C-alpha cells in the first residue's frame, strides 16, 4: 500500500522524537456546530491524529463519559451523514491531519459496508476502528476498507496472546491500537510497566506503530506511556471537558471549544516530554 | 443427497453462522474468551457425565419432564384443532429459563469460573440465574435496567433473597438491551474469573447454539409425550418469541419434520405502525448487535430502538439469530400479537383452564385462539406455556383497574 496520511503522520512524529497524540471526540457532541468547531481546533491545539466517534445507541465498550457523549450527540440529531459532512468540512481547512472514524459496526452495516468505505474515503476519512468486528470477520469490512484505500486499525488487548496476535495483525494497517486494560474506555491504568511490556511484545510482531489507549488521562501518563508507545490515545478526558463546559440545560457554552483545546494542549506537552528524560 | 444434507438442524457452521445470521461480533478483548467458551462447550457436549448431571438436575431440581396437558375446555371453546400445552410454567422458578441456567452453570463450573454475571429484563432469567448460583454457591451479579427494576419489584426481591447483587442500569432507556450492554462491560473488565450467563438464544457464538441445546429438552420431551398421548406428532407448534429461547427449544427437535407448521409469536405492542412494539422479525431489518447479526428494531441510521411490549420478557429489540434464519428460509412463520390481545388471552386461560399464564405465553395463546378455529378437529396444536403468571398479576391488575 502507498503511504497514507496516517503513515506519514506517525513517521513525522517519530522523526520529531515524540509519540503521536491521538485525540478522540464523538461527532455531534454536544451539537453539530460545536463539534465541528472542536474538530477544526484539534490540530492547532496539538492533536496529531483524530479519532472521530460515530455515535451509536449501544456503545458496549465505552465507560460512562463516552456513553454520555454518544447520548448527547444522538439527542442533538447526529447521523452518519452529518458525521461524514464534518469530515468534508474539516478537509477544506486541513489536508494533512489524519481522521479515523471509530465506532460500532451496525451503522455501517445498514448502509452496505462496500458502499460506505468508498463514501468515507471520498469524504476525506483515512481509517476505521470498529470495536465489534474481530479479525475473524475481516472479509466483511476490513478487506473492503483496505481495497478502498482506507487504513483498518485493529485493537489488540491484554487478552490477545502471542498465539492470536498474528491473526489480529494480519490485515491491520496504519497503526496498532493497544488497549491498555481489560475493560472499558475511561478505566484506570493500573500498571504502566505492564503496558510498556505489552507494547514491546506487539512490536516484536509488527513494524507498524503502536498507539496505547483506554485510560490515559493526564500529561504525566502520556509522558510515561509515550516513552515506549508510538502514539498515545486520549478520549474520555476530552469528552469530560466537553461535559464540564456545558450549561445546566446541557447546551454548549462559549467555553466549550477552548476547554477541549486546553486539555489537548496539556496532553501534547506531555507527549513532547516523553522521550526527553 | 444424504439425510444430513437435507437437514436444517445442523447449524450453526463453525463460525457460528445460521445462513448470514449469527457470528461473533465482539470486542477483541472478548474474542479469546468466546473461543475458550466454545472449546469447553464442545468438550462438555461430548461428555456423557455432563449430560447425566443435567438430566439429574432437570428431574430432581426443576421437576422435568414438564407435563403435556390436553386443554379440553379451551379446545371446546375454540371449536377447532385440539390444543395441548407443554407446561414449562410448572418448572422450578416458574419458567423455561431454568433449563438454560442449569446447563450453563455446570459449564461455568467445568471452566473453573468463580463469579457469574447475567442480564435480565422481566427478572425471570435473573431469578433463574440467582437460583442456580445459590444452588452451586457462586456469587451472582445481575444487571437490570433501572426502568425494569422499578416495574418488576417482586423479582428484584426474589433475586436479593437468593443472594444476588442487583445492579440497576441507568444508561439508555434502562431496559433489557441496556442491561446486556452493561453485562458485556462487566465481562470485558473481569475476563479471568467471570462467566457471562446469557439468558436467551442470542449473543455471540456459541451462545445461540448452546442455549438452544439446553432448551431443546422441551421439544425432545414433547416428541415422546405426543407419541404416547396421540400416537402421532402434532400439526402445529406455537411459542412466544422475545429473544426466542423457549421457541427454539420447542421447535428445533422438529425442524426436519416438514409437515409440522411452526409459529413464533412476537410482541406487537400497540401496533406495528409506530415504534411501540417489539416485533423485530415482522417489522425490523438485519443488523449487528450484542455479538450477532440478526433482525433488529432500528432506524435508518442504524441506531437501535427501544421497542415496547406489555410483557417485559418480550421487550427486546433483537431476536436469536437462528430465528432470523428460520424466517428467511420460510420454515417458521412469525406473527405479531398486540398487547390487548395478549391481555384478553391471559384472562381467558385463567377462566377456562384455571391456569394463570405469564404475559409472554399469553401472546402465544392469543395466536392459538386465531389458529385453532381455522384447523380441523382431528388436528393438533402444541403451545409452549413457558411461564406462569404470578409475576404479572400486579401489572395486569393495574391494567384492568383493580386496586391491589
- Asked if residue A21 is part of any domain, the answer here is yes
> How many structural domains compose chain B?
2
Q: Is A81 an annotated catalytic residue?
A: no
Query: What element of type H or E holds A221?
Result: helix A219-225
- Asked if residue B129 is part of any domain, the answer here is yes
- Asked if residue B404 is part of any domain, the answer here is no
Q: Are strands B285-289 and B194-196 parallel, antiparallel or unpaired?
A: unpaired
Segments in chain A below pLDDT 70:
1-2, 190, 277
What pLDDT, on a 0 to 100 scale, did the predictor assign at position A114? 98
- Asked if residue A277 is part of any domain, the answer here is no
Tens digit of each residue's pLDDT (9 = 90 or more) over B54-112 = 999 999 999 999 999 999 999 999 999 999 999 999 999 999 999 999 999 999 999 99
Report the residue of chain B nearest A169, measured CA to CA.
B28
Report d(CA B289, CA B61) in Å as an integer.
34
- Asked if residue B241 is part of any domain, the answer here is yes
Q: Are strands B165-169 and A49-53 parallel, antiparallel or unpaired?
A: unpaired
Min mean pLDDT across A80-89, A108-117, B171-180, B373-382 is at B171-180
Tens digit of each residue's pLDDT (9 = 90 or more) over B98-153 = 999 999 999 999 999 999 999 998 899 999 999 999 999 999 999 999 988 987 88
Same structural domain for residues B111 and B238? Answer: no
Neighboring chain B residues of A159 at a CB cutoff of 8 Å: 28-33, 191
What pLDDT, on a 0 to 100 scale, did the predictor assign at position B315? 86
What pLDDT, on a 0 to 100 scale, did the predictor assign at position B2? 47
Same structural domain for residues B263 and B374? Answer: yes
CB-based contacts of A201-205 (< 8 A; 24+ apart in sequence): A201/A162, A201/A165, A202/A156, A202/A165, A202/A169, A202/A176, A202/A178, A205/A162, A205/A165, A205/A166, A205/A169
**ipTM of the complex, rounded to two decimals:** 0.96
Domain that holds residue B49: 27-58+97-211
Beta-carbon separation of A107 and B303 below 8 A: yes
Tens digit of each residue's pLDDT (9 = 90 or more) over B331-367 = 999 999 999 999 999 999 999 999 999 999 999 999 9
Average pLDDT of every residue of chain B: 95
* pLDDT at B323 > cutoff 90: yes
Report d(CA B45, CA B47) in Å as an integer.
6
Min CA distance, A73 vs chain B (Å)? 12
Percent of chain B scoring above 90 in pLDDT? 88
Report d(CA B309, CA B392) in Å as an integer.
13
- Asked if residue B193 is part of any domain, the answer here is yes
Same structural domain for residues B51 and B71? Answer: no
Phi, psi (deg, nearest 5) at residue A103: 170, -145
- Asked if residue A109 is part of any domain, the answer here is yes
Same structural domain for residues B327 and B186? Answer: no
Same structural domain for residues B260 and B354? Answer: yes
What pLDDT, on a 0 to 100 scale, did the predictor assign at position A215? 87
CATH code where residue B54 lies: 3.40.50.1100
Phi, psi (deg, nearest 5) at residue B286: -65, 145
Same structural domain for residues B257 and B174? Answer: no
Length of chain A: 277
C-alpha cell recorded at residue B17:
453462522
Percent of chain B scoring above 70 in pLDDT? 99
Last residue of some domain: B176, B211, B246? B211
Last residue of some domain: B163, B178, B211? B211
Q: Does B20 touch chain A (CB under 8 A)?
A: no
C-alpha cell recorded at residue A232:
498515545
Beta-carbon separation of A183 and B188 below 8 A: yes
> How many structural domains compose chain A?
1
Report d(CA B85, CA B72) in Å as an integer.
11
| pLDDT greater at residue A17 or residue B275 | A17
Report d(CA B369, CA B381) in Å as an integer.
11
C-alpha cell recorded at residue B228:
404416547
What pLDDT, on a 0 to 100 scale, did the predictor assign at position B213? 98
What pLDDT, on a 0 to 100 scale, did the predictor assign at position A186? 86
What pLDDT, on a 0 to 100 scale, did the predictor assign at position A276? 72
C-alpha cell recorded at residue B213:
441445546
- Asked if residue B163 is part of any domain, the answer here is yes
Min CA distance, A267 vs chain B (Å)? 26
Longest Cα pair distance anywhere in chain B, in angstroms? 63
CA atoms within 13 A on the CB side of B368: 34
- Asked if residue A276 is part of any domain, the answer here is no
- Asked if residue B266 is part of any domain, the answer here is yes
Split at pLDDT 50, 70, 90, the class of B395 is confident
| pLDDT greater at residue B403 or residue B14 | B14
Tens digit of each residue's pLDDT (9 = 90 or more) over A21-44 = 999 999 999 999 999 999 999 999
Average pLDDT of every residue of chain A: 95
What pLDDT, on a 0 to 100 scale, did the predictor assign at position B4? 59
- Asked if residue A254 is part of any domain, the answer here is yes
How many pairs of residues across A and B have Cβ atoms under 8 Å apart?
119
- Asked if residue B312 is part of any domain, the answer here is yes
Same structural domain for residues B343 and B368? Answer: yes
Same structural domain for residues B305 and B223? Answer: yes
What pLDDT, on a 0 to 100 scale, did the predictor assign at position B5? 66
Min CA distance, B337 vs chain A (Å)? 27
Q: How far is CA A222 from the centre of its chain?
A: 15
Same structural domain for residues B274 and B386? Answer: yes
What pLDDT, on a 0 to 100 scale, did the predictor assign at position B1? 42
Nearest to B324 by CA among B218, B213, B244: B244
Longest Cα pair distance anywhere in chain A, in angstroms? 51
What pLDDT, on a 0 to 100 scale, did the predictor assign at position B404? 72
CATH code where residue A156 lies: 3.20.20.70
Question: Which residue in A79, A152, A159 has the most chain B C-beta atoms within 10 A of its own C-beta, making it the best mutation to test that interface?
Answer: A159
Q: Is A62 an annotated catalytic residue?
A: yes
Amino acid at each position: 500500500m502507498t503511504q497514507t496520511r496516517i503513515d506519514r503522520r506517525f513517521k513525522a512524529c517519530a522523526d520529531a522524537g515524540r509519540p503521536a497524540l491521538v485525540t478522540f471526540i464523538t461527532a455531534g457532541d454536544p451539537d453539530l456546530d460545536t463539534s465541528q468547531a472542536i474538530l477544526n481546533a484539534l490540530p492547532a491545539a496539538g492533536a496529531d491524529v483524530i479519532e472521530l466517534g460515530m455515535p451509536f445507541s449501544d456503545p458496549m465498550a465505552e465507560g460512562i463519559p463516552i456513553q454520555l457523549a454518544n447520548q448527547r450527540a444522538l439527542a442533538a440529531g447526529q447521523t452518519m451523514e452529518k458525521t461524514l459532512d464534518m469530515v468534508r468540512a474539516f478537509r477544506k481547512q486541513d489536508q494533512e491531519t489524519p481522521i479515523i472514524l471509530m465506532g460500532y459496526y451496525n451503522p455501517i452495516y445498514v448502509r452496505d459496508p462496500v458502499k460506505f468505505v468508498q463514501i468515507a474515503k471520498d469524504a476525506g476519512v483515512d481509517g476505521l476502528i470498529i470495536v465489534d468486528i474481530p479479525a475473524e470477520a475481516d472479509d466483511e469490512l476490513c478487506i473492503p476498507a483496505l481495497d478502498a484505500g482506507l487504513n483498518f486499525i485493529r485493537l489488540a488487548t491484554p487478552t490477545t496472546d502471542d498465539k492470536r496476535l498474528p491473526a489480529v495483525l494480519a490485515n491491520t494497517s496504519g497503526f496498532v491500537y493497544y488497549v491498555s486494560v481489560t475493560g472499558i474506555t475511561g478505566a484506570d491504568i493500573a500498571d504502566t510497566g505492564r503496558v510498556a511490556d505489552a507494547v514491546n511484545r506487539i512490536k516484536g510482531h509488527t513494524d507498524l506503530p503502536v498507539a496505547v489507549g483506554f485510560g490515559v488521562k493526564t500529561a504525566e501518563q502520556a509522558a510515561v506511556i509515550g516513552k515506549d508507545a508510538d502514539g498515545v490515545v486520549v478520549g474520555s478526558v476530552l469528552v469530560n471537558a466537553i461535559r464540564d463546559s456545558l450549561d445546566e440545560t446541557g447546551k454548549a457554552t462559549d467555553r466549550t471549544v477552548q476547554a477541549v483545546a486546553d486539555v489537548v494542549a496539556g496532553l501534547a506537552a506531555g507527549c513532547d516530554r516523553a522521550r526527553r528524560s | 443427497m444424504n439425510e444430513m444434507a437435507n437437514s436444517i438442524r445442523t447449524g450453526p457452521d463453525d463460525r457460528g453462522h445460521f445462513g448470514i445470521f449469527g457470528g461473533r461480533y465482539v470486542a477483541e478483548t472478548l474474542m479469546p474468551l468466546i473461543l475458550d467458551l466454545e472449546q469447553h462447550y464442545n468438550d462438555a457436549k461430548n461428555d456423557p457425565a455432563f449430560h447425566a448431571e443435567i438430566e439429574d438436575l432437570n428431574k430432581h431440581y426443576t421437576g422435568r419432564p414438564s407435563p403435556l396437558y390436553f386443554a379440553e375446555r379451551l379446545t371446546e371453546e375454540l371449536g377447532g384443532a385440539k390444543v395441548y400445552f407443554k407446561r414449562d410454567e410448572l418448572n422450578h422458578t416458574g419458567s423455561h429459563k431454568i433449563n438454560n441456567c442449569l446447563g450453563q452453570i455446570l459449564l461455568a463450573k467445568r471452566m473453573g469460573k468463580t463469579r457469574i454475571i447475567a442480564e435480565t429484563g422481566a427478572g425471570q432469567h435473573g431469578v433463574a440465574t440467582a437460583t442456580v448460583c445459590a444452588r452451586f454457591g457462586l456469587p451472582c451479579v445481575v444487571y437490570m435496567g433501572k426502568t425494569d427494576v422499578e416495574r418488576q419489584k417482586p423479582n428484584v426481591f426474589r433475586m436479593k433473597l437468593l443472594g444476588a447483587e442487583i445492579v440497576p442500569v441507568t444508561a439508555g432507556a434502562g431496559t433489557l438491551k441496556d442491561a446486556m450492554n452493561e453485562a458485556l462491560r462487566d465481562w470485558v473488565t473481569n475476563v479471568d474469573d467471570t462467566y457471562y450467563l446469557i439468558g436467551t438464544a442470542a449473543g455471540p457464538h456459541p451462545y445461540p447454539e448452546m442455549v438452544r441445546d439446553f432448551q431443546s429438552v422441551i421439544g425432545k420431551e414433547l416428541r415422546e409425550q405426543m407419541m404416547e398421548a396421540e400416537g402421532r406428532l402434532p400439526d402445529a407448534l406455537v411459542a412466544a418469541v422475545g429473544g426466542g429461547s423457549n421457541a427454539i427449544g420447542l421447535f428445533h427437535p422438529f425442524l426436519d419434520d416438514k409437515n409440522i407448521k411452526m409459529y413464533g409469536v412476537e410482541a406487537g405492542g400497540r401496533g406495528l405502525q409506530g415504534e411501540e412494539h417489539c416485533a423485530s422479525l415482522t417489522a425490523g431489518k438485519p443488523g449487528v448487535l450484542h455479538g450477532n447479526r440478526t433482525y433488529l428494531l432500528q432506524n435508518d441510521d442504524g441506531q437501535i430502538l427501544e421497542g415496547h411490549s406489555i410483557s417485559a420478557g418480550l421487550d427486546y429489540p433483537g431476536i436469536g439469530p437462528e430465528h432470523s434464519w428460520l424466517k428467511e428460509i420460510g420454515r417458521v412463520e412469525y406473527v405479531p400479537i398486540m398487547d390487548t390481545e395478549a391481555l384478553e388471552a391471559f384472562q381467558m386461560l385463567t377462566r377456562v383452564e384455571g391456569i394463570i399464564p405469564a404475559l409472554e405465553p399469553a401472546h402465544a395463546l392469543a395466536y392459538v385462539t386465531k389458529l385453532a378455529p381455522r384447523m380441523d378437529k382431528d388436528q393438533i396444536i402444541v403451545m409452549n406455556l413457558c411461564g406462569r403468571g404470578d409475576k404479572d398479576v400486579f401489572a395486569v391488575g393495574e391494567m384492568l383497574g383493580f386496586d391491589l
